[in-house]
Amino acid sequence: MSSKEFEAEYRDAMSETLNELQTAMLLLAHAQYKITQIGNSVQSLSQRVEEFLSEQTTDSSLN
């Protein structure tokens, strides 16, 4: 293998590796965004459950 062939293979391998790294970083960013969305949904749902239970307790004490 000549040095030019080696250099070409090295560049191709490095380019592919960097593309894979970029893809992984984009997937990670998307996963972090989705985790944040899910966390916000769980927090909102928990707040609604607390409000509902509070209303039920208030309604029960009035009856």
Measured in residues, the chain has a length of 63
Could you say which DSSP state residue 30 is in?
Answer: H
- The residues near 1 (Cβ < 8 Å, ≥ 6 apart) are 9
pLDDT digits (tens, 9 = 90+) for 16-50: 999 999 999 999 999 999 999 999 999 999 999 99
Q: How many CA atoms lie within 13 A of 60 on its CB side?
A: 6
DSSP state of 61: H
Q: What are the two backbone dihedrals, phi and then psi, of residue 2, each rounded to the nearest 5 degrees?
A: -80, 165
Mean pLDDT score, 3-17: 98
pTM (two decimals): 0.71
